[in-house]
A and B are shown apart, each in its own frame.
Chain A
């Protein structure tokens, strides 16, 4: 096998395992010259380019699906996707999420449908970034960004509130509370038929 990390190779890594389990025949290196090879390795490495990334000045992008800070998404007209169902909080193995739902009214509507998340907190002192909350979310309201710079100087600052987590308003979006697009129901929202704020 050329790359031991290749997943789903033909023999499921059995040859490598067998090779690792065969008894070592001789504890001694075969020759003195072989022992000296190590010195050549370190000497050669001096002239290689270091792998170091000079972090604060240089940044390298994370992996595409890196689990970073969470984000609460919006529909294209600005209404929140979160329906306050608490499934994310129930899914969380670290008990890092607190959700309190509230009923939408026609005067004060934050999300299409019946309910919205009034309180939404994620405690980044507890969060293990496993992503189970994202799997649990029925409306894709909760996703993860690639942002990883989450250090701060107090515990309180690391409990992110709803306004810290909400996705920023893009052009065409309106700050909730506002009514749904006229002539649509929450079903249209869930289907993804809403393509922009039009109710001014």
Chain B
């Protein structure tokens, strides 16, 4: 039985219970991940991190949440009141919705009912997640726009531009997954990975997805939307109290959501590590949830690791990377993958497949060496060429006497 068939037999109350469970797990995951991130990033910087509230500081995030809820809720005079209130609600609700189609476990027994920990399984599950993520962008744009202030507006525009451009790369990286799984349903993508996980067979797709999911969630090193040094707090500068808490919640739920998506699409979802398949039946199948969570935590660790290691990108570099590197690269990769897929499906001999792959590798090598040599030539030209002196006053270049400048200074 496929997941969709199992879910179809669920009585209504089981769906309600599952919805509640997923919601609770998401909120708990947020609280734990805020704590975990702060502890981990602190250790990377040889600090301790929060360790005051509760054992090991475990309920620090909860304490922060309570504090936020008790704060004064300000709405700026220049703000568009209605949109200003709606924006965080959009952000916070959409981020939860992605979890409806993510299979958290294999077949389990929930209150005497045989089911899977997945709210619903639709044939276009992954597209649904993308649609929801795009609606989530509205929360950010509207928050920035309705604040009636410059920094939030800039932050909101930045982050919407960022999310939209990285969503393209993300979507393109998934095409290869769809081609190989033959489905867009999350449950079927997971079951298509029973032999090899897609992170191995479709490694380039996995890399593109992993990079673009950091951009998609506005996380360091791609956290330009809330670049503290430039934009104060970005789109949520004017927000306070519970509304701010909602954005905060949305950010972390989003991280968990894309980690869960990456787990489902590339790391075999709730399935055990290769060779440990027997663990999937432990605890009446509930052990698969642990596998799933372990993989999500792995991705979360990567997120924190990136944040602890890399400096923030400049905005133009970031956009250049998204549009000029990630998107063309994934387009070419899709071409290659689909050609290989069609060839193998039409029963082309193995030699043709190998020849094709070899040709691709040769082409890539030739292209990169051409690129290198042209770069070298350009560098040489730069060294030879004189820099034209602009008509406006410029600071002197060290080691070079700027005649124009001295003339200007002397009248």
- The residues of A with any CB-CB pair to B shorter than 8 Å are 21, 23, 38-39, 41-43, 45-46, 48-52, 54
Instruction: Please measure, in the bound complex, the distance between the C-alpha atom of A38 and the C-alpha atom of B310, giving whole angstroms.
Output: 8
Stretch at the interface among B41-49, B71-79, B318-326, B333-341: B41-49
Does B148 touch A at the CB level, under 8 Å? no
In the assembled complex, the Cα of A39 lies from the Cα of B310 at a distance in Å of 8
B233 interfacial contact with A, CB 8 Å: no
Q: How many angstroms from the CA of A24 to the CA of B305 in the assembled complex?
A: 28
Nearest-CB distance from B33 to chain A (Å)?
A: 17
User: Is the beta-carbon distance between A52 and B305 smaller than 8 angstroms?
Assistant: no
A45 to B309, CA, bound (A): 11
Q: What A residues does B399 contact at CB under 8 A? A: 23
- Does chain A have a CB within 8 A of B87? no
Provide a sorted-by-A list of 17 A–B residue pairs whose CB atoms are within 8 angstroms.
A21-B398, A38-B310, A39-B309, A42-B305, A43-B44, A43-B305, A46-B44, A50-B42, A50-B43, A50-B46, A50-B47, A51-B46, A51-B47, A52-B46, A52-B47, A52-B48, A54-B48
Within 8 A of A (CB), among B42-83: 42-48
Residues of A within 8 A of B40 (CB): 46
Please judge, given known A-B contacts A38-B309, A39-B305, A39-B309, whether A46 and B47 are in contact too, CB under 8 Å: no
Q: Which residues from A are CB-within-8-Å of B48?
A: 50, 52, 54
Q: What is the chain A residue whose CB lies nearest that of B48?
A: A52
> For residue A21, which residues in chain B have a CB less than 8 angstroms away from its CB?
398
Chain B residues with Cβ below 8 Å from A46 are 40, 43-44
**In the assembled complex, how far is the CB of residue B35 from the closest CB belonging to chain A, in whole angstroms?**
16
Rounded to whole Å, the gap between the CB of B125 and the closest CB of chain A is 33
Task: Please report B residues at the A interface, Cβ cutoff 8 Å.
Answer: 40, 42-48, 305, 308-310, 398-399
Contacts of A41 in B (CB 8 A): 309
List, in ascending order, chain A residues with CB within 8 A of B43's CB: 45-46, 50
Contacts of A49 in B (CB 8 A): 46
| Interface contact A48-B46, CB-CB below 8 Å | yes
Told that A45-B44, A48-B46, A51-B47 touch, could you supply 5 new A-B pairs with CB distance under 8 A? Answer: A23-B399, A46-B40, A50-B48, A51-B46, A54-B48
- In the complex, what residue of chain A is closest to B52 when comparing beta carbons? A54
Given the complex, which residues of B lie within 8 Å of A52, measured CB to CB? Answer: 46-48
User: Given the complex, which residues of B lie within 8 Å of A38, measured CB to CB?
Assistant: 309-310
Q: How far is the CA of A116 from the CA of B398 in the complex (A)?
A: 61
A42 lies within 8 A of B46 (CB) = no
Beta-carbon nearest neighbor of A38 in chain B: B309
Residues of B within 8 A of A48 (CB): 46
A43 to B46, CA, bound (A): 11
Q: Which B residues lie within 8 Å of A51 (CB)?
A: 46-47
In contact, B42 and A42 (Cβ under 8 angstroms): no
Given the complex, which residues of B lie within 8 Å of A39, measured CB to CB? 305, 309
Establish whether residues B305 and A45, one from each chain, have CB atoms under 8 Å apart when the complex forms.
no
Complex alpha-carbon distance, A150 and B329, angstroms: 60
| Residues of A with C-beta under 8 A to B305 | 39, 42-43
Q: Is the CB of B310 within 8 A of A45?
A: no
Complex contacts, A23 vs chain B, CB 8 Å: 399
A45 to chain B, nearest CB (A): 5
Q: For B46, list chain A residues within 8 Å (CB).
A: 45, 48-52
CB distance from B338 to the nearest CB of A (A): 28
Instruction: State the Cβ distance, A60 to closest chain B Cβ, in Å.
Output: 15
Distance between A57 CB and nearest chain B CB, rounded to angstroms? 11
CB distance from A58 to the nearest CB of B (A): 12
Q: In whole angstroms, how far apart are the Cα atoms of A191 and B308 in the complex?
A: 61
Q: How far is the CB of A48 from chain B (nearest CB, A)?
A: 6
